[in-house]
């Protein structure tokens, strides 16, 4: 199973996701770090991602080659992540056939009704459970 973790800015969310995915699944999954900038990609690679690529074309190209895409909900919203996520990136992610496991952070003015507010580490634990369920399908 190939999982793309997408993040930007400082890469802290992506780093935390990669670390927990690696701990939960060890080498039974392949993690591709896709950063909107080189700092985010580098941090995810240092956290254990198998491969990494940076920028608009890398994201647009790779999201069609994975089974699951994980990241903050802003990755499907053009110009989110303080403008780092381009409209082309958002379109490619949204149109990808991959399942999207999105963390509902309210940093890009997108609020999801019915989602309980909880700390980021708890959402990342939820990501692990969803990926685990997808592997057994």
Q: What is the mean pLDDT of residues 10-34?
A: 96
Asked if residue 72 has pLDDT above 80, the reply is yes
Whole-number pLDDT of residue 85: 95
Asked if residue 114 has pLDDT above 90, the reply is no
The string of DSSP codes covering 52-68 is EEESHHHHHHHGGG-SE
- One of 1.10.260, 1.10.20, 3.40.50, 1.10.10 is the CATH number of 2-135, namely 3.40.50
pTM summary value: 0.93
Whole-number pLDDT of residue 113: 85
Question: Hey, where are the domains in the chain?
Answer: 2-135
How does pLDDT run across 75-94, given as a tens digit for each residue?
999 999 889 999 999 999 99
Cα separation values, 128 from 33, 109, 137, Å: 16, 25, 15
The dihedral of CA 83, 6, 64, 75: what is its sign?
negative
Q: Output the CA angle 87-69-93, nearest 5 degrees.
A: 20
Q: What is the mean pLDDT of residues 22-44?
A: 96
Asked if residue 60 has pLDDT above 80, the reply is yes
Q: Enumerate the H helices of the chain as residue ranges.
A: 12-25, 38-46, 56-62, 87-95, 120-135
> How far is residue 100's CA from residue 119's CA, in Å, rounded to a whole number?
20
Whole-number pLDDT of residue 89: 98
Mean pLDDT of the chain, nearest integer: 94
């Amino acid at each position: 199973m190939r999982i793309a973790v997408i993040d930007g800015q400082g890469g802290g969310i992506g780093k935390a996701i990669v670390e927990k995915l690696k701990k939960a699944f060890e080498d039974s999954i392949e993690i591709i770090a896709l950063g909107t900038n080189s700092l985010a990609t580098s941090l995810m690679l240092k956290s254990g991602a198998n491969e990494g690529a940076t920028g608009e074309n890398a994201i647009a190209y790779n999201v069609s080659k994975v089974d699951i895409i994980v990241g903050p909900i802003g990755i499907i919203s053009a110009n989110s992540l303080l403008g780092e996520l381009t409209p082309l990136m958002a379109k490619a992610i949204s149109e990808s056939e991959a399942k999207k496991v999105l963390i509902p952070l309210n940093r890009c003015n997108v609020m999801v009704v019915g989602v309980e507010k909880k700390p980021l580490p708890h959402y990342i634990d939820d990501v692990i459970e969803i990926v685990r369920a997808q592997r057994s399908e």
